[in-house]
Amino acid sequence: MLYLSLFWEFFKIGLFALGGGLATIPFLYQLTINFPTWISNADVANMIAISQSTPGPMGVNMATYTGFKVIGILGGLTATIGLVSPSVLIVILISKFLKHFDQKWYVKDSFYGLRPTVLALITYAVSNIFALSLFNYTKIRVVESIIFLAIFILYRKFEKIHPIIWILVGAILGIVLKLPK
């Protein structure tokens, strides 16, 4: 039954998280409420950091991590299959009707409404990550805030440096400074 629940929850995420990996974040935060034994807010923040610094799609990495944490290897596989199944099914259906599908006014218009909606969901997720990373209830995490500002400013100044370098710098700083959890 746990496998079916895991599959179903991630199937719903895959079906409704329009906009890529970042769009899955609000759904993962909802999982922390509905299934607190599966993942916590801190787990979501850690998954985001790990998913951003490992190969593969962010949503798939998060599904695999959560499923593995809940049940093990088969759980990771179950959650991942649940997450990608809607996309596979939708692509198959759309490909059958593609010539007629993309010219419909209601399809084009619906995407204009979806864009700001997805942006709102991603912004909400970013605000949660921001608060979790830089604030500890009412106290500002000073060192983390300095790292954030420094990396942000340096990244804006040196945009040509690959993002993986900044991720590695952040990981090294975390190890060297032994930042509290």
pLDDT tens digits along 47-74: 887 777 777 788 888 899 899 999 999 9
pLDDT of residue 3: 94
Write the DSSP symbol of residue 24: G
The pLDDT confidence band at residue 170, using thresholds 50, 70 and 90, is confident
pLDDT of residue 158: 92
pLDDT of residue 5: 94
pLDDT tens digits along 106-160: 777 887 888 888 888 888 888 888 888 888 777 888 888 999 999 999 999 998 9
pLDDT of residue 99: 63
CB-based contact 14:87 (threshold 8 Å): yes
What would the mean pLDDT of 34-58 be, rounded to a whole number?
83
Q: What DSSP string describes 138-151?
A: TEE-HHHHHHHHHH
Nearest by Cα to 10 from 59, 71, 70: 59
pLDDT tens digits along 74-111: 999 999 999 999 989 988 887 777 666 667 777 778 87
What would the mean pLDDT of 25-48 be, rounded to a whole number?
87
More confident call, 9 vs 112:
9
